[in-house]
Chain A
């Protein structure tokens, strides 16, 4: 599904990613952990094609295509979805209207007719149930005046609507209380299948109690320095990131 080789990237001339390697197969859930400033969010931004980030080396192959050659909207239409750490507000545009545009743009890209209004609304209802989202939110301006938890749930709702092949969750757990965390995680878990892959970026092991990953990677100074299964996350929780840092320094 996704193959990242020797990826380097910078923003404003500052190197953030430095030779990152990652292989993800269809249906797998990979957790990326690491201390602040390690490059976790940069990785998600680069994969989504955020223009401020400049790729200085390496390759990213997504479903056999060169991902880095594609515009952000083409990547989205090809099935890459990013759940934002800080979802953006768009005043005056309802979530319904926004998603209708997004869903139809994706269909257009794939040579399909726009969705009938009734089918679309039916789909909305189904997916809203999936993330137990309050109906009133879809009529309100996108993310405007939403609580932190509502914004994150709206991200997962959008993910459900757009049915991506590769979903990247950028610190979706940050700012969530335990109930919201459970709802969001349930939504993600219901979407797991053999075709769909997830990259779950998080600071804390807590989220991984709900979304059980197949692999856990530790990102430090722009590269993946340690990989393991879900037990690695628990070990990190106990020993802290200093453990990794010390281990690395000892190795030098």
Chain B
């Protein structure tokens, strides 16, 4: 049953990243490397209040004391933090009132990615806060949101307009001292999104941010903060692509969510950063800290992610279920090909009574890649009646990839009900042949089978995102079976 396997690898290896390009735009940069001066420079550039600078410095000082974590299931080249530019902003020429004033080069970039802001604005009704190399360039649909009292802006803007909200919530879910990369982010974060949904408001549209890494050697450190006040609802979409680069680029974002009583936050991500060439050279390192706090009773936080890009993905969107009857969900698809590594999963921390969590993780590994699910379900002493259901499915394509599962369960209350299901499968030759016999070529067959495998997760995504994600899955695995 001969060559298919070797063909698989050949073809996998010949697969190039389809979104590789870079934009020529005048950049304003901090000097290279990281020091207290860099932190001060960034804070000053952004005209931040003193407390913010102090907060950053505290993070920086803590970071100096930390070592990079070593517990992960992969190795990566040592990052030299003195060779990274920590701040790059397109030079500000004029204040922008509309998209027409945006640098046409920039708009072209978005168009190449198929996410033209103009189109978005006109057709989709999705408000977009576009983060281009650390500084927000354009924000749309502000007025409609303002009517409802929804605040959706960049963190920098929020620091100016709503400092009290930022001060109250930033670091409340992911403290500066949380972990190595969160501390780094806290010290040097350049921008990100801020969302506040007032009491009882259902956000009238899906909020969406497209991130992009552009300047060479520029680490990107976004900070996202979303607060859903009592009884409110918001769905937030985050999607990413990145231009081709030779050197590894570090991305260490922090996302904090706070859901008050009876509030619901749905956070969806499609991540397709440059995964590196066939040897894995030049891909993005994606070391992200994402955490949500169900602060009040009956609050709900739901993470959905489709991860296809990056050389290394390292993220564990988590929920702290503090409010009684609060609910946490995690739906994940992680695809790795060639030399990619994904170490991803979630933590569900049950603190309140009758809290519920659900985890559905689908990992797909092709080429020589490794895909790890790492999850923790923790039930606190006082969390009476906590329930969790975890389902972890892995799919292998070819015979040189790996799937790993590390489910940790810590139960401190006897009334807890925790279930864990896991499966590993291989795309069968017989499945592919069956599709072939119906006229479906092998590439399309893989797409079909993989999308079927991920259906439970894809169903969680908003419609237009789900379509995009389906295409992405097929593209990511093109040529993965001969």
- Where the two chains meet, the residues of A that have a C-beta atom closer than 8 Å to any C-beta of B are 48-52, 71-73, 75-77, 81-82, 84, 87-88, 90-93, 97-99, 101-102, 105-106, 109, 141, 158, 162
Whether A90 lies near B441 (C-beta < 8 A) is: no
State whether A93 touches B441 (Cβ < 8 A): no
Contact of A93 among B428, B429, B437, B451 (CB under 8 A): B451
Contact partner of A92 (CB less than 8 A), chosen from B1, B436, B441, B452, is B452
Residues facing A in B385-425 (CB within 8 A) are: none
Please state if A51 and B1 are interface contacts (CB–CB under 8 Å).
Answer: yes
Q: Does B19 contact A (CB under 8 A)?
A: no
Asked if B438 is at the interface of the complex by the 8 Å CB criterion, the answer is yes
Q: Is the CB of A73 within 8 A of B431?
A: no
A71 near B436: Cβ-Cβ < 8 Å? yes
Q: Which of A71, A90, A106 contacts B431 (CB 8 A)?
A: A90
Could you mark each residue 432-449 of chain B with 1 if its beta carbon is under 8 Å from any beta carbon of chain A, else 0? 011111111110100011
> CA–CA, A105 to B443, complex, Å?
12
* Chain A residues closer than 8 Å to B100, beta-carbon distance: none
Greatest chain A CB density within 10 A among B4, B430, B435 is at B435
The listed residue (A77, A93, A99, A105) touching B449 by CB distance below 8 A is: A93
User: Does B454 have its Cβ within 8 Å of any Cβ on chain A?
Assistant: yes
The answer to whether A88 and B434 touch across the interface, beta carbons within 8 angstroms, is yes
Q: Are B4 and A51 in contact (CB under 8 A)?
A: yes
Docked-complex contact B441 and A73, CB < 8 angstroms: yes
Is B455 part of the contact surface with A, judged by Cβ < 8 Å? yes
Q: Which residues of A contact B440 (CB under 8 A)?
A: 73, 76, 101-102, 105
The B273-307 residues at the A interface (CB cut-off 8 A) are: none
Interface centre among A52, A93, A97, A109 (most CB of B within 10 A): A93
A92-B454, A98-B448 as given contacts; A158 in contact with B433, CB under 8 Å: no
Give the residues in chain B near A81, CB-CB below 8 Å.
437
- The interface on chain B, measured as residues whose beta carbon lies within 8 A of the other chain's beta carbons, has a size of 26
In the complex, are the beta carbons of B452 and A102 less than 8 A apart? no
Name the contact of B430 in the complex, choosing from A72, A88, A105, A109 (C-beta under 8 A): A88
Contact A90 B436 (CB under 8 A): no
- Which of chain B's residues have a CB closer than 8 A to the CB of A98? 435, 438, 448
User: Is A162's CB under 8 angstroms from B439's CB?
Assistant: yes
Q: How far is the CB of B13 from chain A (nearest CB, A)?
A: 21
A91:B444 contact, CB within 8 angstroms: no
Does B448 lie within 8 Å of A109, measured CB to CB?
A: no
Establish whether residues B449 and A90, one from each chain, have CB atoms under 8 Å apart when the complex forms.
Answer: yes
- Residue B141, interface by CB 8 Å: no
Query: A102 and B1: CB pair below 8 A?
Result: no
Q: How far is the CA of A88 from the CA of B438 in the complex (A)?
A: 12
Does more than half of chain B's interface fall in helix, strand or loop, or is it mixed?
helix
Interface membership of B55, Cβ < 8 A: no
Q: A92-B452, A102-B439, A102-B440 are in contact. List 16 more A-B contacts (CB 8 A).
A: A51-B429, A72-B437, A73-B437, A75-B437, A76-B437, A84-B434, A88-B430, A90-B431, A90-B435, A90-B449, A91-B452, A97-B448, A98-B438, A101-B444, A106-B439, A162-B439
In the complex, whether B236 has a CB less than 8 A from a CB of chain A is no
- The reply to whether the CB of B453 lies closer than 8 angstroms to some CB of chain A is yes
Q: Which residues of B contact A82 (CB under 8 A)?
A: 437
In contact, A76 and B439 (Cβ under 8 angstroms): yes
A57 to chain B, nearest CB (A): 19
Chain A residues within an 8 Å CB radius of B429: 51-52
Chain A residues near B441: list those with CB within 8 A. 71, 73, 105
Q: Are B428 and A88 in contact (CB under 8 A)?
A: yes
Q: Within the assembled complex, what's the spacing in Å between the Cα atoms of A21 and B441?
A: 30
Closest to A106 in B: B439
**A161 smallest CB distance to B (angstroms):** 9
| Contact yes or no, B448 A72, CB < 8 A | no
Say whether A93 contacts B438, CB under 8 Å. no
CB-CB < 8 A to A101: which residues of B? Answer: 440, 444, 448
- Centre residue among B436, B439, B454, B456 by max chain A CB count within 10 A: B439
B299-350 interface (Cβ within 8 A of A): none
CA distance A51 to B440 in the complex (A): 15
CA distance A10 to B454 in the complex (A): 37
Which of B428, B433, B449 has the most CB atoms of chain A within a 10 A radius of its CB? B433
Query: A48 contacts which chain B residues (CB < 8 A)?
Result: 433, 437
Question: Closest CB of chain B to A43's CB: distance in Å?
Answer: 15
Q: How far is the CB of A246 from chain B (nearest CB, A)?
A: 37
Within 8 A of A (CB), among B61-113: none
* Contact B433–A72 (Cβ < 8 Å): yes
Residues of chain A within 8 A (CB-CB) of B433 are 48, 50-51, 72, 88
**Smallest Cβ distance from B449 to chain A, in angstroms?**
6
Is B451 within 8 A of A73, CB to CB?
no
Question: Which one, B436, B454, B455, contacts A72 given CB within 8 A?
Answer: B436
Please pick, from A73, A75, A91, A97, the residue contacting B453 in the complex, using a CB distance under 8 A: A91
Once A51-B429, A101-B440, A101-B448 are accepted as A-B contacts, the answer to whether A92 and B434 lie under 8 Å apart by CB is no
B434's partner among A51, A90, A91 (CB-CB below 8 A) is A90
0/1 per residue, B364-387, Cβ < 8 Å to A?
000000000000000000000000
Cβ of A68 to closest chain B Cβ, rounded Å? 15
Q: Which 5 A-B pairs have the closest CB atoms?
A: A92-B452, A93-B452, A76-B439, A72-B436, A102-B438
| Bound CA span A88–B437, Å | 11
- Between A and B, 29 residue pairs with Cβ closer than 8 Å are A49-B436, A51-B4, A71-B441, A72-B433, A72-B436, A72-B437, A73-B437, A76-B437, A76-B438, A84-B434, A88-B430, A88-B433, A88-B434, A90-B435, A90-B448, A90-B452, A91-B452, A91-B453, A92-B452, A92-B454, A92-B455, A93-B448, A101-B440, A101-B448, A102-B435, A102-B438, A105-B440, A105-B444, A158-B438
Q: List, in ascending order, chain B residues with CB within 8 A of A90's CB.
A: 431, 434-435, 448-449, 452
